Amino acid sequence: MRIVVLLSILFVIVVGTWMTERRMASWERPILVTVYPIIADQEPATEGFVNGLEMGEFDVVNRFLEREARAYGLTVTPAFRFQLAPVSRELPPTVPGQFDTVHIAWWSLKMRWWSWRQSFAHDLVNADIQMFVLYHTLNDNEEVGISVGMRKGRYGIVRAYARQRYQATNHVVFAHELLHVLGATDKYVLSTGEPIHPDGFAEPDRIPLYPQRFAEIMGGRLPLGLGRSAIPSSLDQCRIGRTTAREIGLYELLTP
C-alpha cells in the first residue's frame, strides 16, 4: 500500500507538472510569476535600493514579450502577471560550477526544497514560476555571480546590481533566465560567451553579418564582429529568434 500511495503521489506530481508546462506554452492566459527580491550583501545602499522596488519595475519584461510575440503574428497581452514577495535576506543554495555534475545534481535537490519552502513563506497566490532576484551593490569586482533558470523546477535565480542605472541590464538578465524556465536554451559558447551563429544571432541572414543591430535574447550578447560582442544595454536591443520562439511555444502556435 505504501508503494501504491507513493506511486500515486508521483503520478499526480508528474501529470500536474506536464499540464502546467503545456498551459504555459500555449500562452492562452498570463503566466503568474512571483518575484522574490533578496538583499544579497551587507551594504546599506543595497538594502535601500531593494526596499524601494515596485512591481512596475518588471512591466518592461511584459512589453518585451508582447513586442516579440507580435513579430510572430501573435497577441500575448500581458504575457506575465507579476507579484512581488516581501524583501528577504535568505539566500538560496549556492550555484556550483557549470561543469561540476555531481554537485549540480545535489544543488538541484536542495534548491527545489528551498524554493518550495519559499512558496509557503508568504500569503501569495501559488505561482507558475518563481524568480529569485539577488541584489548586490556594485564594487571593484563587477562580477556578482551566476544567474540560472531551471525549467523542471520552474524557478530562476538572477544576480542583479542594486543601482537604478543598471536596471535595464538587470531586466535583460531577468528575461534571459525567465525564458530558460519556459524552455529556451542558451545560444552562446559557454567558454567565451560569444553568440553562436545562426541561432544566437537576431539577424542571422543580415548582409554584412557584422555588426548586428540587435542581440538574440538567448545569445546573450550583441555580435559586433568575429569574436567581438557587447552586452545589450536594455531589452530594446534584444530580440527573440525563431529557434527560441519555437522552444517557448510562440513559433509553434503559428502552425496548425
Question: With bands split at pLDDT 50, 70 and 90, how would you rate the model's confidence at 122?
Answer: confident
Could you give the C-alpha distances from 163 to 42, 53, 59, 136, in angstroms and in order?
A: 15, 11, 18, 9
The pLDDT, as a whole number, for residue 101 is 73
- Which structural domains are found in the chain, ordered by start? 28-183 (3.40.390), 185-256 (no CATH)
- pTM of the full predicted structure? 0.89
More confident site: 152 or 25: 152
Q: What is the pLDDT of residues 135-168, one digit of tens each?
A: 998 765 555 678 999 988 899 999 999 999 999 9
97: left (phi over 0), alpha (psi -120 to 50) or beta: beta
Could you give the C-alpha distances from 168 to 66, 113, 121, 161, in angstroms and in order?
A: 17, 31, 29, 10
Sign of torsion over alpha carbons 69, 82, 177, 144: positive
